[in-house]
Structure 1
Amino acid sequence: MGNKYVVVDLETTGNAPKKGDKMIQFAAVVIENGKITEEYSSLVNPEQSIPPFIEELTGLSDEMVEDAPLFSEIAPKVLSLLEGAYFVAHNVLFDLSFLQEEIIDAGYNGFYGPVLDTVEMARILFPAADSYKLSDLALREGLKHDRPHQADSDAYVTAELLLILLNKLKNLPHNTLEQLHKLSGGLKSDLDILLDEFILVNESKIEYLADEIEVHRGIALKKGKNPHEAAGSGFHGFPFREEEKQEMFIKAFPSYEKRQGQFIMMDSVYGAFKNAQHALIEAGTGVGKSLAYLVPSAVYAKESGRTVIISTYTTQLQEQLLTKDVPLLQKMLPFPLKAVLLKGRSHYISLAKFVQTLRDEEDNYDTILSKMQILVWLLETDTGDIDELNLSSGGMIYWSRIKNDETAFLQDKSWISRDFYLRARKDAQKADIIITNHSLLLTDLTADNAILPEFSHVVIDEGHHFVKASGKHFGNKLDYLSVRLMLGQIGLFEQKQLYYKLEKLVEEKAEAPDEFMHSFEVNQIIADIIHEMDELFRVIAIYAKKYTKTKKSVNRITVRFNKSAKNKEMNAVLATAERFGFMLKELIQAVESRMGIVENIKSALSLEEKALMEEVASILDDLRDMNEDLKHIFHLPSPEFVVWIELDMRSAQNATTIYAQPVSVSEYLNEQFFSKKESAVITSATLSVKNSFSFIVKELGLEEQHCTMKQIPSPFDYRNQVKLVVSDDLPEVNAVTLEEYVVSIAEHIISIAEAAKGRMLILFTSHEMLRRTYELIKESGFLEDYAVIAQGVTSGSRSRLTRNFQRFDKAILLGTSSFWEGVDIPGEDLSCLVIVRLPFSPPDEPMAQAKNEQLANEGKNPFSEYALPEAVIRFKQGVGRLIRTSSDRGVIVIFDRRIITARYGKAFLDSIPPIPVQKSNIEEIVELIYTWL
């Protein structure tokens, strides 16, 4: 660390110096011998006005820079700072290229020393960070970052971050440093020079590896440790008396207040397991349902010696159960408990394949970066699970080469003892509780090699999603990007990808029989398939655009694909799908015959050649799966299936997916799942409609007489914690055009936001309405000092948008579908919830349409049997976002008058906790919010 580093940050009028954008602030922080030794910053007169957007972002105005020096006046100082130093910045190419232009314009030679990028370094050294934005990294590392987007503050934080990164880099094991060094030539910055120095320093001293690190076959990695297992005394049976439950909870929470609902739920779960019954348990917000099913599951597992499975829909809940709830559970119980998390095989890295790819010559930036991230991650991970890693989309393509799958050729036994997937399965065999997800639970029913050990007792949390997960599982899908990626990995002979390598191997090593298809014939098939695939997705897009009911301005469209309709677009799709399928079969046969020849000489293959055959075997499996999907979607769709297309109008070719799913999964679930298990407990905060479980029972294929059913209300005092208002001065949703409706709700939202000081979540049912409302609010300029965050407009995942929302004092979050549930914003951060429309599925949504047809054919009422109950469950989820703890207070504003004017509105209000409802105009709503909050 004896080097000199100069950390630079600039604020500018825009991001294109070539088009005349100029600097408005320069800041530099100098680091020498591992310490900050100097800070310098200056405003700069750009000799042009600062755009409003930049002023809003940086807080720098024309008045502030009008007396500032020109850049040419501070250039000598800047150059003296940079002398003999590494140039460092967060996203270095931007700052360096901008500065170069300004230095050269001022008549000096540019800077040509070594550069470092803290974004690139952070990606490599913090491979599991959620985000690499400077403010997010500062938060993660506990650095104070008072004024983001002001150069002096940004430069100082970047300098502190650099010191942390250098320290971490310097202390990596010698093997890891050497492997990083081999890859670092392909980076954007000069990390290779730095690594060179660190390796030299490292070589001169004896290396003491940390206790938890080992080096195996030249790779440094964290030693495997036992899963969540806590010590405790022996097990003496458990009668579940009230005072025993109380004592257990006090052990884990010294200030525990008894929650009656939680105890009732514990008894219900335990009773269902003991009596070998299925149970549906609706537990309102605040019941504490995770521990209420974990305690009896643990007790039953210990008593019976059987493993209990806990299945969730989201990975978020899985992580929460493992890292937060299981440790509490272990504190409470008087016996040791072993709990593990188990995911599908392809979630885990194959170390044998990874090590093999380290030998490849790489020139792809994303692949190089991913390899470096993984080398560092192996020093930290206990699981080898990709969900921990933050890879770029290019990195995900690389992951598909190193993920764990059925190995046939690469019998590199040296890694078996360290294999994360085998370790996870072995731990699962001995576990009392296994946490997994709905998708793996369902896959395991039909898999040849089951991943989960035998089980007969299961808790299905987030149970209202089990039907949706089952539809995906029993269905098929084909999407353009995956198909293109797969064919790209095979490649034409001249592209020197897998097919070329396979052909070369066969040529060198094996004797091809006479009837063998010639390489140029196979090459022609690959060329035809690529052409035919483009053609197939082109005609699918033509069909979708012609038969969509959606307006032209909407980006994402969903269209049902109805095979009974005879029209020329449909015929074109079916004919192309048939040609594509025919060629696909030919390609599969050609690859299989080549694999067969190589299989005979397996013992004579080198490690590299076996690794190649692994990749080919894996692609062959993917091709067979694709052939099955193609068959089920186009050639054999059963009348019980609904087929539909989803595409993005902005890049129809790249973003097209076609799905086929059963209209109803109830029979599948009954036959393949519930009839085979002794006891399944289905739980969620939203299972009932108007206090009846009959809708969900039918959807799941259960029979009411064979289930126990329990509703456990929320312990929160909704009457005194929540006000529910229906706006009575907005037009009826369907009585006006979308434009008029958006104008009127945007005005309401602005007034409500000012009264509530932000802190509001607005739930929409359509992306289009959300986008237009967002644009109107932004254009109006009334909420300039609010952070307005909109799903699908502001970039980032749901959890990132939620985190950003919580970071700002005055924030407004606009969300659709996925924001109606699973978003947890306790306390003052969220005080106002606006529901724009009752969440009915659009009538032309393919699955809803097919369900309605099916019910109508059975002589039932599609609205009351399906559309209404489905909307009520989603509405309950939405309402559940507001009150997350017993001290939360808030206001719910509903813009959709149908909740009080329509006959069915009562079904919504009867399904949520009892809250008095009032009708008010906007002035009264604003007044209420002021006084109540």
Structure 2
Amino acid sequence: MINKFVVIDLETTGNAPKKGERIIQFAAVVIEDGIITEKFSSLINPKKTIPAFIEELTGLNNEMVKNAPLFSEIAPNIIPLLKDAYFVAHNVLFDLSFLQEELLQAGFEGFYGPVLDTVEMARVLFPTADGYKLSDLAEKENLLHDRPHQADSDAQVTAELFLILLERLSLLPLRTLRQLEQLSGGLKSDLQQLLDEILIEKDKNIEKLPETIEIFKNIALKKHLVSMEVKKDLKQYQYPVNEEEKIDMVKQGFEFFEKRTGQFIMMDGVFQSLLNEHHSLIEAGTGVGKSLGYLVPIAFFAKQKDLPIVVSTHTIQLQEQIIKNEIPLLTRILPFTIKSVLLKGRNHYISLEKFSQSLMDENDNYDTTLTKMQILVWLIETETGDKDELNLSSGAIYWNKIKNEPTVFKLNQDWHEKDFYLRAKNAAQEADIIITNHSLLLSDLSGERSILPEFDYCIIDEGHHFEKVASQFFGHSLDYLTTRLLLGQFGLYEQKLLFYKMEDLLASMFLQKGDLVQTFELNRMVIDLSYEMDEFFKLMAIYAKVKSVHKKGSNRFKIRFSSEDQGKEKKALVISAERFAFLLKDLHSAIMARLEWIKKEKESLSNEQKSLIEEILTFLTELDRLRNNVQDCFTKETNFVRWIEMDSRSPQNVTTFLARPATVATALVEKFFNVKKGVVITSATLTVNKSFDYIIKELGLDPGSTTQMMIPSPFNYQNQVQLLIPEDLPEINKVTLEEYVIAITEHIITIAEATKGRMLILFTAYDMLKKAYELIKESGFLNDYAMIAQGITSGSRTRLTRNFQRYDKAILLGTSSFWEGVDIPGEDLSCLVMVRLPFSPPDEPLTEAKCQLITQQGGNAFSDYSLPEAILRFKQGFGRLIRTEKDRGIMLVFDKRIITTKYGRAFIKSIPSVPVKKGNMDELVELIHSWL
């Protein structure tokens, strides 16, 4: 058994050792018997110039390595370290390939012992981590990582991380370890050898499982504990009427309680809305405490009436915040126990039976193997079985195989009690508060069997998104990659039938009565279908390109698919769509005919055969859904707005066809608002110029019977914010994009130097963001600032925001999703820049269609739609700057239309009253210095 591990980290001049790139810094940390026993590090003279980007990344320059030893001089120190040891690194193949090359060039033997990769191990052992970069994992495990991208610091942190991973492995149940060991032969490192050694040690003792874990059907799971509710006196459920009662109750949840009058007003508004069975619109400014403002009254109402209340949000972040932060707080506050549950669509939940069955599959690819290992570890942690908890960077195809969905063959009854979907559904039947998302809430309207129990009362948080989500829900979309992926699955079924030695099943499906022609017919149909799919998306791209001749300066564009168009490109596309739909129907019918015999043979099928038939039937369901989508988009008469989105650099692969209703107001009224007794729609941004008219119209609500409440933010914006408008910038609509970007880039550099970074810059288009980012980089003026840009710097919005907060001098550039939902309190964000007012482009298909509809109905498209929509986005952007009563900040708007047009005043009137200063940049910089 090997008890020695050598953790290595290198800094290099590039990525390719075979192309002459060299090591510039080497570091090793030796671990023996679970303790760090030795460290070694050295700078190395690479005998070549260090590239500028490597110098920027590592902080190592040519001067620092000029008098450092050559690699051949330190190699004799390295070889004894590696003797009889595991070679460990974060992304081990990179470090190993460089070290091997250098050792061989120096005339020494290479390293040929076992290797371990902490990236691979972390993926398996931390399946729910946000990211697997060394800095992400160091932050997660509270490890000090003061000099990222310097070998000695990276090696130390990797060693500390590795010890945590070893400890994690040692605590896994024996059953899980054995399953991981069986799968780990397919990994890039020698984790299997390490697992073998751990299992030999573990087998020497009798295992005692922790109380929180059970073994069920050969899989280790976290035990599900059912909490018993203590029934209380009905008097406990009396809603607190006066302020004193509310204070006595709410302060139970806080160590330091601070009264929020706005929150109490909101509580009363929500309670009255439910009690009197009417709909309400409540705009609650930042700092009101909106979540608790509705959770407290709905908890009392749910208990009094013994009815469930649904809370719907747009983002996963808010759902998680409610479950992890607000519900525990609510539990401390209330004088009674409440039951709450988070509900998602059925295919968010894992099917344990399918997963168990899939563990028997062989010949998995790397991604599937890694995903199986992640899930085995996750199952001893998860209480929900919800895939959103997992970080599946690859493995999405595998998830489709094990997700929970209706089955033809009844589940083995033994699995029922462990089924996460059924558990969530049953919990919802018993719950007082059900938290879900807008999409699932709307799926209730489609008439399909819903996971939601019947409900009459609902809170719609992030309500400004509800209309857009409804538009997507009632609409359709087709994209090339999803379609291609679906059709590509068919070829796997023949291989699997042969692999499982299911010759009878293969014959029944593909040969039918031994007629070989049948096989060729089915395969020919698939070939024809694949050809027609390629042709269909090719013609879609041609149509879009022909129509986009006037669109310059952007590779990405949206093209309206017009009903009136009679051009040859449109005719060709519609004919191809009809052919494609016809072939989809033919394939569906042909496979279904070959599966007819299953109805008679159900009992004689093995579990493997049943599992495979389920996969094929799921494929058929998806095939049918695709056909309906094609027909809805192309061959049915519709008043939907239809358009194509594509990228001219790779037209076919990123082409998407979308169809959306221009307005959803009528559908929402008929199917939702007229059916429910009490709906409260809330958000920090519902009003335009102190009026709810716009949102009322968009949702189709009756203004006479809908209660409207505006609860202002408790923050002192007059003393917390300065709104600055530079007057020495060109009018955005009077110069080219390039000229405007050059002008704003100069201002951004000037402001960044004045504020020492801590800037969030909001763009309305990615092309402008990218050009500004490149110009700032080229200028070299902000080289000592961390530049983080959406779409350029990799990572999710959450990760980019977290990286931004990590640096003292940082600038974050964002588009669409950064205008809201980004929460950066305190001094991390001191300056917010809006590059232009957030109007939707007038030729954006849905905007164009909405404006046409308003004009046809005698309205003013600009004042009824374009302006209010832009103002709501502006308010959301403004809301990023001040998140607590102690925050202070500067907001700059580069778009002079805010002061040069009549409508510009409407933007300023819609945000809290703040001091507005105009002037040239030099004057404003002086003000920034004195203010901050």
Q: Which letter does structure 1 place at the counterpart of 2:573? A: V
1:383 aligns with 384
User: 1:649: how far off?
Assistant: 3.0
Instruction: Give TM-score scaled by structure 1 length.
Output: 0.98
CA distance in structure 2 between the aligned counterparts of 1:357 and 1:109, rounded to whole angstroms: 42
CA distance in structure 2 between the aligned counterparts of 1:345 and 1:228, rounded to whole angstroms: 26
SS of 1:146's equivalent in the other structure is coil
**1:626 is the counterpart of 2:622:** no
Q: Conserved in 2, the CA contact under 8 Å of 1:287 and 1:714?
A: yes
Q: Conserved in 2, the CA contact under 8 Å of 1:491 and 1:497?
A: no
Query: Structure 1 residues 683 and 229 mapped into 2: Cα distance closer, same or farther (>3 Å)?
Result: farther
2:892 aligns with 893
1:773 aligns with 772
1:366 aligns with 367
CA distance in structure 1 between the aligned counterparts of 2:763 and 2:511, rounded to whole angstroms: 64
CA distance in structure 1 between the aligned counterparts of 2:305 and 2:892, rounded to whole angstroms: 50
Query: Structure 1 residues 386 and 227 mapped into 2: Cα distance closer, same or farther (>3 Å)?
Result: farther
Q: Conserved in 1, the CA contact under 8 Å of 2:510 and 2:518?
A: no
Query: Equivalences for 1:642-681 in 2 at 5 Å?
Result: 642-681=641-680
User: 1:570: how far off?
Assistant: 1.1
Query: Equivalences for 1:207-606 in 2 at 5 Å?
Result: 207-226=207-226, 235-393=236-394, 395-409=395-409, 411-491=411-491, 505-507=505-507, 512=512, 518-548=518-548, 551=551, 553-606=553-606
CA distance in structure 1 between the aligned counterparts of 2:776 and 2:438, rounded to whole angstroms: 39
1:118 aligns with 118
SS of 1:673's equivalent in the other structure is helix
User: 1:80: how far off?
Assistant: 1.2
Query: Equivalences for 1:26-175 in 2 at 5 Å?
Result: 26-175=26-175
SS of 2:382's equivalent in the other structure is coil
Q: Conserved in 1, the CA contact under 8 Å of 2:727 and 2:919?
A: yes
User: 1:651: how far off?
Assistant: 2.6
User: 1:500: how far off?
Assistant: 11
User: 1:227: how far off?
Assistant: 7.1
**1:759 is the counterpart of 2:750:** no
CA distance in structure 1 between the aligned counterparts of 2:309 and 2:688, rounded to whole angstroms: 29
Query: Structure 1 residues 517 and 408 mapped into 2: Cα distance closer, same or farther (>3 Å)?
Result: farther
SS of 1:896's equivalent in the other structure is coil
Query: Structure 1 residues 485 and 502 mapped into 2: Cα distance closer, same or farther (>3 Å)?
Result: farther
Q: Which letter does structure 1 place at the counterpart of 2:555? A: N
Query: Structure 1 residues 595 and 479 mapped into 2: Cα distance closer, same or farther (>3 Å)?
Result: same
Q: Conserved in 1, the CA contact under 8 Å of 2:498 and 2:506?
A: no
Q: Conserved in 1, the CA contact under 8 Å of 2:723 and 2:916?
A: yes
**1:196 is the counterpart of 2:196:** yes
Q: Conserved in 2, the CA contact under 8 Å of 1:349 and 1:404?
A: yes
CA distance in structure 2 between the aligned counterparts of 1:11 and 1:66, rounded to whole angstroms: 15
Q: Which letter does structure 1 place at the counterpart of 2:439? A: S
The list of structure 1 runs, each at least 4 consecutive aligned residues, that deviate by more than 3 angstroms after superposition, is 226-234, 492-504, 508-517, 549-553
Q: Conserved in 1, the CA contact under 8 Å of 2:758 and 2:811?
A: yes
SS of 1:724's equivalent in the other structure is strand
How many residues in Structure 1 have an aligned counterpart in Structure 2? 931
SS of 1:30's equivalent in the other structure is strand
User: 1:496: how far off?
Assistant: 5.5
Q: Which letter does structure 2 place at the counterpart of 1:440? A: L
SS of 1:644's equivalent in the other structure is strand
2:698 aligns with 699
1:871 aligns with 870
Q: Conserved in 1, the CA contact under 8 Å of 2:497 and 2:503?
A: no
Q: Conserved in 1, the CA contact under 8 Å of 2:287 and 2:884?
A: yes
Q: Conserved in 2, the CA contact under 8 Å of 1:28 and 1:40?
A: yes
Q: Conserved in 1, the CA contact under 8 Å of 2:460 and 2:681?
A: yes
SS of 2:282's equivalent in the other structure is strand
User: 1:502: how far off?
Assistant: 8.5
CA distance in structure 1 between the aligned counterparts of 2:566 and 2:503, rounded to whole angstroms: 44
CA distance in structure 2 between the aligned counterparts of 1:480 and 1:96, rounded to whole angstroms: 39
Q: Conserved in 2, the CA contact under 8 Å of 1:458 and 1:680?
A: yes
Q: Conserved in 1, the CA contact under 8 Å of 2:2 and 2:86?
A: no
1:730 aligns with 729
Q: Which letter does structure 1 place at the counterpart of 2:201? A: V
Q: What is the percentage of aligned positions where both structures have the same residue?
A: 60
Instruction: For structure 1, list consecutive stretches of 5 or more residues without a partner in the other structure.
Output: none
CA distance in structure 1 between the aligned counterparts of 2:908 and 2:549, rounded to whole angstroms: 32
CA distance in structure 2 between the aligned counterparts of 1:16 and 1:795, rounded to whole angstroms: 22
User: 1:72: how far off?
Assistant: 0.8
The two structures, once aligned, show a CA RMSD in angstroms of 1.9
CA distance in structure 2 between the aligned counterparts of 1:323 and 1:333, rounded to whole angstroms: 17
1:22 aligns with 22
CA distance in structure 2 between the aligned counterparts of 1:255 and 1:902, rounded to whole angstroms: 47
1:847 aligns with 846
CA deviations 1:133-169 (Å, max 9, x no partner) are 0011011111111111000110011011111101111
User: 1:238: how far off?
Assistant: 2.2
Query: Structure 1 residues 512 and 383 mapped into 2: Cα distance closer, same or farther (>3 Å)?
Result: same
CA distance in structure 1 between the aligned counterparts of 2:232 and 2:212, rounded to whole angstroms: 25
CA distance in structure 2 between the aligned counterparts of 1:874 and 1:71, rounded to whole angstroms: 57
User: 1:339: how far off?
Assistant: 0.7
Query: Structure 1 residues 510 and 42 mapped into 2: Cα distance closer, same or farther (>3 Å)?
Result: closer
**1:817 is the counterpart of 2:825:** no
CA distance in structure 2 between the aligned counterparts of 1:230 and 1:43, rounded to whole angstroms: 66
CA deviations 1:669-709 (Å, max 9, x no partner) are 00010000001000001111111111100100111011000
CA distance in structure 1 between the aligned counterparts of 2:823 and 2:429, rounded to whole angstroms: 33
SS of 2:258's equivalent in the other structure is coil
Q: Which letter does structure 2 place at the counterpart of 1:482? A: T
SS of 1:706's equivalent in the other structure is coil
User: 1:519: how far off?
Assistant: 2.1
User: 1:556: how far off?
Assistant: 2.4
User: 1:225: how far off?
Assistant: 2.6
Instruction: For structure 2, list consecutive stretches of 5 or more residues without a partner in the other structure.
Output: none
User: 1:510: how far off?
Assistant: 11
User: 1:245: how far off?
Assistant: 0.6
User: 1:554: how far off?
Assistant: 2.5
CA distance in structure 2 between the aligned counterparts of 1:197 and 1:230, rounded to whole angstroms: 49
SS of 1:792's equivalent in the other structure is coil
CA distance in structure 1 between the aligned counterparts of 2:504 and 2:879, rounded to whole angstroms: 61
CA distance in structure 2 between the aligned counterparts of 1:258 and 1:280, rounded to whole angstroms: 23
Q: Conserved in 2, the CA contact under 8 Å of 1:494 and 1:500?
A: no
Q: Which letter does structure 1 place at the counterpart of 2:371? A: S
Q: Conserved in 2, the CA contact under 8 Å of 1:308 and 1:456?
A: yes
SS of 2:595's equivalent in the other structure is helix
SS of 1:682's equivalent in the other structure is strand
User: 1:594: how far off?
Assistant: 2.1
Q: Conserved in 2, the CA contact under 8 Å of 1:770 and 1:816?
A: yes
Query: Structure 1 residues 472 and 7 mapped into 2: Cα distance closer, same or farther (>3 Å)?
Result: same
User: 1:652: how far off?
Assistant: 2.3
1:182 aligns with 182
CA distance in structure 1 between the aligned counterparts of 2:703 and 2:239, rounded to whole angstroms: 30
Which moved further from structure 2: 380-389 or 192-201?
A: 192-201
CA deviations 1:327-359 (Å, max 9, x no partner) are 101111111111110000000000000000000
CA distance in structure 1 between the aligned counterparts of 2:360 and 2:378, rounded to whole angstroms: 19
Q: Which letter does structure 2 place at the counterpart of 1:362? A: N
Query: Structure 1 residues 533 and 397 mapped into 2: Cα distance closer, same or farther (>3 Å)?
Result: same
CA distance in structure 1 between the aligned counterparts of 2:593 and 2:339, rounded to whole angstroms: 47
Which moved further from structure 2: 572-581 or 771-780?
A: 572-581
1:10 aligns with 10
Which moved further from structure 2: 300-309 or 475-484?
A: 475-484
Query: Structure 1 residues 736 and 495 mapped into 2: Cα distance closer, same or farther (>3 Å)?
Result: farther
Q: Conserved in 1, the CA contact under 8 Å of 2:851 and 2:861?
A: yes
Instruction: Give TM-score scaled by structure 2 length.
Output: 0.98
Q: Which letter does structure 2 place at the counterpart of 1:911? A: S
CA deviations 1:577-621 (Å, max 9, x no partner) are 111111000011012112222122111100000001111111111
